[in-house]
Amino acid sequence: MSGIFKQDSRSQPLLGHDTRRKPTQKGRFIMLGSAVAFFGFSCIYLSNHLPAIQVNPTTLWHESNKVITPGISFLSFEQGIQSCQFNLERAEAETNATRTRHRNPRKAPDATDLLVQNAHIWLGDKYLDGDIYLKDGLIAAIGKNIKVDKHVRVLNAAGRVVTPGIVDMHSHMTVDSLGGLNAGDDTNEMTSPTTPYVRVIDAISPTDPGLKIVASGGITTSLILPGSGNLMGGEAAVIKLRPTSTLSNQEMLIGAGVSDEDQEVVWRYMKMACGENPKGYYGGELSQMPMTRLGENYLFRRRFEEAQNLLRKQDDWCDAASRIKRAFPTSQQDESATRLSESYPHDLDLESLVALLRKQVNLNVHCYLPQDIEAMVHHSLEFDFEIAAFHHALSAWQVPEIIKRAKTNITIATFADMWGYKAEAWDQNVHAPKILDKAGIPVAFKSDHPVTNARDLMHEAQKAYHYGFDEHKSLQALTSVPAKSLKLDHRIGSIEVGKDADLVIWERHPLRLGARPKHVIIDGAELNFDVSWTKTVTEQDMVLKQLMKAETTKEFEHEKDRHYLPPFSESIMHLEDHGLDNPSSFQDACSSDVDSFVLRNISQIYMNSSDTMDAKVYGQGLYMVVKNGRISCLGVECNRDHIEWPVSSPIFEMGGSVVIPGIVSLGVPLGLSEIQAEETTQDGYAKNDISDADIHKKIVRAVDGIKLNGLHLQKAYKAGVTTSVSQPMVASDLLAGISVAFRTGVENTVLDTVDALVKEEAALNFVIHHSSSMTVSKQIASIRDLLIDNLKKDPDHNVFAKAARGKIPVVVQVDDKDEIASILLIKQLISKEYNYQVNFVILGGAESHLVAEHLSRLDVPVVLMPARCFPTTWQSRFCLTGPPITPSTVLDVLIKNQVRVGLGSTDVDNGDARNLIWEAGWNLAHNPNLSSLDAVGLVTWNLAEIFGLIDPVHLHGPGVLKQGGKADFVAYNSDPFEFGARVLMVNGGGRSGPTCFPTQA
């Protein structure tokens, strides 16, 4: 007890006072310092002179009283160690094995061994005529005359092209389900501009009707992304489009079933977005950050910094934990041997971003403009993460060198031809794929479903091929390029031994207009589109089955025709007799004020619904002689031996071209809207108060708002669209107003061209809305009341009276079959009770096939918009999508019932007007009852007749060609219904003299 006790005060002598001197404060410090020094010297002396003692810390702990310092549990420590180990192994792992695979973890339960014989196999950069053997959900062999067991099913491809399954690397299918219901829209978590922590797998709907429709287009794999409303939208997921009987979205994942034996890295995916969408919503609607790109990029960097800090904390923790692991070998560990004060750092909000910084996430970024692309590349370098792909990226072709600053070769996932819908989409270039490819940047095409119909994704590759993109690269952009960008090229994207058995057998070459799959195989199982997609037979399936009658698509006589692809052809056209045989001179002559000229050596001239001329019939080329802007002669007897040609006029050698009337556009508001997302570039949305007694005086007229020579009009004109019927735009009002028919080629204003306006009052327009404050029934009743109540008024001063008496068409934009039926009842009522025939026109008409007999009986025409049916809304859910799901399309049924029909562009102003001829060709490719003459009529004279644009006496006007009529036409260098055909010349459309296009853009 010596040295460590306190003397009892009772043992002290009792004195009157303590006579000892108390130490000063300084003295105390001196005494304390001396004691510390003595203790230190003593320790040093003993350590140098006493024998060393080996003490095991664990033994010391066990032999002590086992007082454990505060800290995390042994279980928490081990869980943290596992996280550290995973990060270490993931960083060291190869992206994926290059070995030949012998197992498909997603093998379909109903997959059977299959031998695809007599196939024209696309192998990425060449073709092989031979066989493909599928076994256990994998491609087992490729070659000629493959020998298999007798039990193996044989499928004769009959010379058709076989490609890998299409990979769509930008889709919102299953999180934005078809039908347009709010309940089925889980695309954007719009509660914060940065939500990297949400996951689409938690919302993927395996019953989305879009799955079946999209798969019917040959798409076998899709990257399902969150939307672009947020800067950081969240985690994405790659799924295959084979239905699962369990309706488990987890089983749809391409990584489903992957185990250690597959030696495969299962990647995570993420979506981010920059530019207009996030700042437009948060800054525009909510008045919060980000209001600008400045704010966007601050938030990007702020979140990346937070993730970077968390990553460093995790690495620090792992470093400390690894020291403990080394100090305490596994054999000596127990709960008292592991004492860190904090658990492994983790934050669910930042977990996915940390994984991105650790190179565990495949990042896909929605970016359009150069400054946005450069900012994201800069962020990736600053915070050391990788960008897999820029999506949309319509300006990427302008900045390939900026894109190449990134550490990885970023893929550009884009559209081949979709533009102008917002400022970011203004600088699109149809030659962008070629420009990017030449710069060494991989190009992929994607859908953005349901913004566009992913079923028709091959159409993007077709359009790129049309504009000169290489055949093989066009197909690679849908297969191997997106597969590699998604780090899945070890499984999908090419036809190779060991890859997943995902194949598409095409009816015709996939780059030909109208190509559709004959067979689609996923994981070794052929999809059957004739039965319900899921366990439950839906109402839609029942209706479609009733319509599946003995209609067949066009077949080809010879096997070689099934894989024939017309070669890409440049324009061939010359000027003779004036020495103008070089491009510059030719262009000068063609663009000057020339209203008299001669075209010779034309192969075909389509004139009207009953007249066409074919050089093959006559055994010589056809002529068109134009004098003072009018056709003075058409046919073979128009050479100098028969008539006198205009003096000193250019003579164009057309090289076997095809001439049709100028195309008529309907559906998109050409001339009224330049950039859909920018109000200042539009006429605006019409507000017509139908309760106003003077509404007939105040009604909005499109003629008052058209702006000529805009970029949309210029591009439409260059594609042969010479006339547009444009109606006022409405947001949610029933009455749109009065549409105008005008010539698209006018280069200044209506004052400068005598015939700029074809018809100031082309039609009275209504739009049925389902998000209006007015019920649908009230809207239909209002149409009826407006017409009937004004029947007795003066039609010269009341547009409703004029419409009710049938003097101008009444266009009703509507899709629903029952609502169309209600419009037909109004026509019947007015006809029966008042003896007037209202000229109703149905615009939209997705379900019009279900009332086709009544439309025919009452002579109500339909303008299909879009031309290819797509059930995006509840009101269009019964539309016929066509082969291979339904034998017929809506158009097929209407034509069969002799309904007058035309094709409109989409109702989104995205530049589709210039593609109307392709919409006609798409239907021509499959309907055995549709002739080329009929197809031309769908976009020319049918529309002109429906809107009364043709002179009823002289039978000439827009949409028709006739001797004595205006020379309003478009000439192609070959069949306009095949990709690769080029517009050589457009004449008319409000311009004096022909406009020529040696190259097309």
Q: Predicted confidence band at 910 (pLDDT cuts at 50, 70, 90)?
A: confident
Question: Is 713:959 a contact under the CB 8 Å cutoff?
Answer: no
Rounded to whole angstroms, the Cα distance separating 442 from 299 reads: 29
Percent of the chain with pLDDT over 70: 86
Structure tokens at 423: 């400022």
Q: What pLDDT does 955 receive?
A: 77
Asked whether residue 290 carries a pLDDT value surpassing 70, the answer given is yes
Q: Mean pLDDT throughout 685-695?
A: 94
Alpha-carbon 390 to chain mean position: 13
Q: How many CB atoms lie within 10 A of CB 560?
A: 10
Backbone dihedral region of 263: left (phi > 0), alpha (psi from -120 to 50 degrees) or beta? left
Cross-strand partners of 729: 685
The answer to which of 429-433, 794-798, 906-910 has the lowest mean pLDDT is 906-910
Asked whether residue 565 carries a pLDDT value surpassing 80, the answer given is yes
Q: How many CB atoms lie within 10 A of CB 817?
A: 20
Q: Predicted confidence band at 63 (pLDDT cuts at 50, 70, 90)?
A: very low
Q: What pLDDT does 338 receive?
A: 58
Q: Mean pLDDT throughout 924-944?
A: 94
Q: Predicted confidence band at 315 (pLDDT cuts at 50, 70, 90)?
A: very high
φ, ψ dihedrals at 15, nearest 5°:
-115, 160
Rounded to whole angstroms, the Cα distance separating 887 from 880 reads: 9
Rounded to whole angstroms, the Cα distance separating 646 from 629 reads: 11
pLDDT tens readout for residues 359-414: 999 999 999 999 999 999 999 999 999 999 999 999 999 999 999 999 999 999 99
Backbone dihedral region of 85: left (phi > 0), alpha (psi from -120 to 50 degrees) or beta? alpha
Question: Is 896:953 a contact under the CB 8 Å cutoff?
Answer: no
pLDDT tens readout for residues 611-624: 999 999 999 999 99
Question: Is 924:908 a contact under the CB 8 Å cutoff?
Answer: no
Name residues whose C-beta falls within 8 Å of residue 176's C-beta, 6 or more positions apart in sequence: 184, 185, 186, 187, 227, 449, 450
φ, ψ dihedrals at 347, nearest 5°:
-145, 115
Asked whether residue 538 carries a pLDDT value surpassing 60, the answer given is no
Structure tokens at 196: 């990297």
Cis peptide before 450 (omega within 30 of 0): yes
Asked whether residue 13 carries a pLDDT value surpassing 90, the answer given is no
Asked whether residue 25 carries a pLDDT value surpassing 80, the answer given is no
Q: Mean pLDDT throughout 748-766?
A: 93
Q: Mean pLDDT throughout 450-478?
A: 96
Q: What pLDDT does 709 receive?
A: 95
Return the higher-pLDDT residue of 263 and 204: 204
Q: Predicted confidence band at 192 (pLDDT cuts at 50, 70, 90)?
A: very high
- Average pLDDT for the chain: 88
Q: Predicted confidence band at 335 (pLDDT cuts at 50, 70, 90)?
A: low
Cross-strand partners of 725: 666, 741
- What are 60-65's contacts with CB under 8 Å, separation 24+? 61/336, 61/337
pTM value is 0.89
Q: What pLDDT does 66 receive?
A: 52
The answer to which of 320-334, 687-701, 977-991 has the lowest mean pLDDT is 320-334
Sign of CA dihedral 294, 298, 301, 307: negative
Percent of the chain with pLDDT over 90: 76
User: Of 675, 697, 700, nearest to 685 (Cα)?
Assistant: 700
Q: What pLDDT does 439 receive?
A: 98
> How many alpha carbons fall within 13 Å on the CB side of residue 403?
28
Asked whether residue 691 carries a pLDDT value surpassing 90, the answer given is yes
User: Of 277, 421, 422, 416, nearest to 909 (Cα)?
Assistant: 421
Q: Mean pLDDT throughout 301-312?
A: 98
Q: What pLDDT does 369 receive?
A: 98
SS3 419: coil
Q: What pLDDT does 19 receive?
A: 38
Q: What pLDDT does 988 receive?
A: 94
Asked whether residue 27 carries a pLDDT value surpassing 60, the answer given is no
Q: Predicted confidence band at 569 (pLDDT cuts at 50, 70, 90)?
A: low
Burial class of residue 309 (count of CB atoms within 10 Å of its CB; 0-12, 13-18, 19+): middle
Q: What pLDDT does 1001 receive?
A: 53
Rounded to whole angstroms, the Cα distance separating 859 from 857 reads: 6
Q: What pLDDT does 694 receive?
A: 94
Asked whether residue 559 carries a pLDDT value surpassing 90, the answer given is no
Q: Predicted confidence band at 633 (pLDDT cuts at 50, 70, 90)?
A: very high
